[in-house]
Chain A
Amino acid sequence: MKPAPFDWQAPETVEAALALKSVHGDGARFIAGGQSLVPAMNFRVAQPGVLIDLSRVAGLDSLAWSPDGSLRIGAMVRYRAIERDAEVARHLPLILEALAEVAHPQIRTRGTLGGNLCHADPASEMPAVMLALQARMEVRGPGGTRILPAADFFLGPLTTALAEDEMLAAIMVPPLPAGAGTAFLELARRRGDYAMMGVAAVLRRDGAGRCAEARLAFCSAGPTPMAAPGAAALLVGTALAAADIAAAAEAAKAEIEPMGSVQASPAYQRHLAGVLAARALTLAAERAA
């Protein structure tokens, strides 16, 4: 037994889960899939006195489409369930493309999107993807529900805007604009490892084939998932020619704040960001109708 002792609670409603968190405060942790928390507990880096298991909470594990085409992903939906959903593949292929790079199948069986976003590892793929998709977070607390854009949810490494007595209940992903093309690319030392750099791109063309909208978001590129709005703005109105994409990719390198790791210096990460952004934008441009 590697983790320190803890008390186990498995509430069946959101209200009961929130009540437990209010009682135990920062001595308690919610556990979703546990694929980041349990390693930390095995190392005893994390020693919560109480674990509040969300896997039996009713209503957190469903995928639901609204008539307007937006997708509500319950915070406890496992990655494998998202990966196998044909509608997600059809309407939000960016999620599927990025999921293939999220750790390994053995991790995705248990891992959840909600847990991943709350863990807020800036090297993780999904926070950047949610930024690029302009997802909104449905946060539940004792005072009720509040909605936070992805851009306001991630505050720093392993830090979100969630208060101590709040939990993430769902992620709401708006539909992609009609005809939008998307792409996710990353570079890691081995498949499934943390990316040294990763990028999500979303592009939409107008009737004349010119770029009407562009979004870029990077992982492993700073303290949070990093958007590059300046670079994206450079693309709007262009024909998305190779030179346009090269200029935007170059500009994106100045908008990120890579922190470096044992595997890659910040300068190398910046270089990768330029290369990967150009490739992802080229792919997204090809895919944009």
Chain B
Amino acid sequence: MKVRVTVNGVAHEREVEPRLLLSDFLRHEIGLTGTHVGCEHGVCGACTILWDGEPARACLAFAVQAEGHDIRTVESLAPAPGQLNALQQAFQDSHALQCGYCTPGILMTMTAFLAENPKPSEEEVRHALSGNLCRCTGYQHIVDAVLLAAERGA
């Protein structure tokens, strides 16, 4: 089937099987490997992308469903190669990642969260983070990073 999707502001058209997951479409068809694939059943959050501005699991949608929609991936965050945006910088400054596998999904979740709630409490950050699993950090530094980004007005 033909599918036309806008990814990070660029229109793409591809011929795909209906069963191709959006996560695999982004990685294998578009070549954007920043969207990570963890559990592939909607639990871990590693594949979180923005779907028309809202956070969603790329592994729980088929590429054909994204027809006509605006998808944003972690690659859209940095203002230029070699640079970080304010949220990413806060993650680096707070040591909020270790292996980094879960980080793209968390960045996308928190991008949407901070847009909606620019001055969150720690409790609100923890609730917002509950849909993303991290097996390295114990979450504390991730919470710190999001609060730091909010403080800096990210």
A93 within 8 A of B: no
The size bracket of the interface on A is 20 to 34
Q: Interface with B: A102-110, A214-222, A229-237, A253-261, which one? A: A102-110
B128 within 8 A of A: yes
- Contact of A55 with B56 at beta-carbon distance under 8 Å, contacts A3-B19, A5-B17, A106-B131 already known: no
Interface residue from B19, B24, B65, B131 paired with A4 (Cβ < 8 Å): B19
Q: How far is the CB of B63 from chain A (nearest CB, A)?
A: 10
Interface residue from B19, B20, B60, B131 paired with A110 (Cβ < 8 Å): B60
Q: Which residue of A lies closest to B57 (CB)?
A: A106
A163 within 8 A of B: no
Q: How far is the CB of A23 from chain B (nearest CB, A)?
A: 17
With A and B bound together, what is the CA distance between A7 and B21 in angstroms? 14
Number of interface residues of B (CB under 8 A): 31
Q: Is the CB of B131 within 8 A of A43?
A: no
Q: How far is the CB of A254 from chain B (nearest CB, A)?
A: 33
- Contact of A104 with B130 at beta-carbon distance under 8 Å, contacts A39-B42, A80-B54, A110-B60 already known: yes
When distances are taken between beta carbons in the complex, the residues of chain B under 8 Å from A190 are 130
- Contact of A104 with B19 at beta-carbon distance under 8 Å, contacts A38-B61, A110-B60 already known: no
Interface residue from A1, A10, A109, A191 paired with B51 (Cβ < 8 Å): A109
When distances are taken between beta carbons in the complex, the residues of chain A under 8 Å from B1 are 8
B35 within 8 A of A: no
Q: Which residue of A lies closest to B20 (CB)?
A: A1
When distances are taken between beta carbons in the complex, the residues of chain A under 8 Å from B41 are 39, 42-43
B112 within 8 A of A: yes
1/0 contact string of B63-87 vs chain A (CB within 8 Å): 0110000000000000000000000
Q: Is the CB of A106 within 8 A of B56?
A: yes
B152 within 8 A of A: no
Interfacial residues of chain B within 19-78, with CB under 8 A of chain A in the complex: 19-21, 24, 40-42, 45, 48, 51, 54-57, 59-62, 64-65
When distances are taken between beta carbons in the complex, the residues of chain A under 8 Å from B62 are 8, 34, 38
- Contact of A105 with B21 at beta-carbon distance under 8 Å, contacts A8-B1, A110-B57, A110-B60 already known: no
1/0 contact string of A1-41 vs chain B (CB within 8 Å): 11111111010000000000000000000000011001101
Q: How far is the CB of A13 from chain B (nearest CB, A)?
A: 18
With A and B bound together, what is the CA distance between A103 and B18 in angstroms? 26
With A and B bound together, what is the CA distance between A129 and B68 in angstroms? 34
B127 within 8 A of A: yes
When distances are taken between beta carbons in the complex, the residues of chain A under 8 Å from B60 are 34-35, 38-39, 107, 110
When distances are taken between beta carbons in the complex, the residues of chain B under 8 Å from A209 are none
Q: Is the CB of B24 within 8 A of A7?
A: no
Q: Which residue of A lies closest to B64 (CB)?
A: A8
Q: Is the CB of B130 within 8 A of A192?
A: yes
Interface residue from B20, B42, B128 paired with A107 (Cβ < 8 Å): B42
Given A5-B18, A38-B60, A106-B48, 9 more pairs with CB closer than 8 A: A1-B21, A35-B60, A39-B41, A42-B40, A105-B128, A106-B55, A110-B51, A110-B57, A191-B126
Ordered nearest first, which 9 A-B pairs have the shortest CB separation? A104-B131, A8-B18, A191-B130, A39-B41, A109-B54, A109-B56, A38-B60, A106-B55, A192-B130
Residues of A within 8 A of B (CB): 1-8, 10, 34-35, 38-39, 41-43, 51, 53, 55, 80, 103-107, 109-110, 190-192
Residues of B within 8 A of A (CB): 1, 17-21, 24, 40-42, 45, 48, 51, 54-57, 59-62, 64-65, 109, 112-113, 126-128, 130-131
Chosen A-B contacts, 14 in total, with CB atoms closer than 8 Å, are A1-B17, A4-B19, A8-B64, A10-B64, A34-B65, A35-B42, A39-B42, A42-B40, A105-B109, A105-B131, A106-B48, A107-B42, A107-B60, A192-B130
